[in-house]
Amino acid sequence: MSRRFRVAVPDAVLDDLRERLRRTRWPEPIPGAGWDYGTDVGYLRRLAEHWERDYDWRAAEARLNAHEQFIETVDGVDLHYLRIAGKGPAPFPLLLIHGWPGSVWEFIDLVGPLSDPAAHGGEPVEAFDLVVPSLPGFGFSGAPRERGWGATRIAAALDELMRRCGHDRYGSQGGDWGGIIGSQLGADHSDRCVAIHLNMSYAHLPPDPTLEQREWAARFRAFRGRESGYSAIQSTKPDSLTLAQNDSPAGLAAWIIEKFRTWADTGGDLEGSFARDDLLTNVMLYWVTANAPSAARIYYEMREDEWAQTRPRVTVPTGVAAFPKEPFHDAPLDLRDAL
């Protein structure tokens, strides 16, 4: 039975956040290092000052609460989700799935155009009924209390959530974990998930790759060598890392925000691509829920997940957004090497 939900973070949590930011013990960076060693400490100090003094969580809370939200217990875990009815003659149900280090906030500006396209220059026939869940262990969803919550189990839970929402046929869209879970939906639950759209996909290299394919593989290996340390930790010893993140908002932001700068098409100008308060709101959805530890564990769970072992074939219609600066586009199918 779905229960209605509204975000209402207690003032005491926000007061504690500001106090922790004020008391951050900042490290001394190497002069001129910038982002070379990870997050630029100088940038993060300025961001933390804004976070403490000027950032308005209540404004973000109001934007979330402008949409209907629910909690549904599926397979023993409380799933938080936004539900937005489409405005059109026959809106098609669409499941929007975020990844790490994302959240439902990454879809907040898409809700209007997808659910009410006529109000945004589109046609009413293009409308979708939207279901936007926080993944298990993320945001306002509950944290799993047992092992095994990888993509296969999450996909089954989200398929059940869509069934309970009354959707016998639906599509799925997502990137990062949303792309992996969406692929699992298209493979294991094709009786209901009839089409998927991905902005991160996985593919096999052919037995006799072309020069272009070999060059791509070399670029990806180089990228992975520079940028996969986060995954090595989160897939082996996540709790050793996230205990500190759960205690330090600056530490949590350092871990998350560097990924937005590195993985997105920022050209090194983080706030030229992302509004400062949007970056902080995404971090807040890990901080106010204390869910950074459970969110990181998805990497550990995937080591033994069915998806990683069997790599099931997707047979439903599939669309892929091939953005030119996407670093994980068509990543190798061996998840343990790719993530």
Q: What is the 3 state secondary structure string of 149-167?
A: CCHHHHHHHHHHHHHHCCC
pLDDT at 338: 37
pLDDT at 322: 82
Contact call for residues 177 and 100 (beta carbons, < 8 A): yes
Report how many domains make up the chain.
Answer: 1
pLDDT at 333: 46
CB atoms within 10 A of CB 107: 20
Contact call for residues 72 and 79 (beta carbons, < 8 A): yes
pLDDT at 47: 98
Task: List the domain range (segments joined by +) for residue 211.
Answer: 3-338
pLDDT at 329: 62
Q: Which of 306, 301, 291, 293 is nearest to 146 (CA)?
A: 301
| CATH number of the domain that residue 36 is part of | 3.40.50.1820
pLDDT digits (tens, 9 = 90+) for 103-132: 999 999 999 999 999 999 999 999 999 999
pLDDT in tens, the chain (339 residues): 789 999 999 999 999 999 999 999 999 999 999 999 999 999 999 999 999 999 999 999 999 999 999 999 999 999 999 999 999 999 999 999 999 999 999 999 999 999 999 999 999 999 999 999 999 999 999 999 999 999 999 999 999 999 999 999 999 999 999 999 999 999 999 999 999 999 988 766 677 888 887 887 788 788 888 888 999 999 999 999 999 999 999 999 999 999 999 999 999 999 999 999 999 999 999 999 999 999 999 999 999 887 777 777 899 999 999 888 777 765 554 433 433
d(CA 230, CA 236): 10
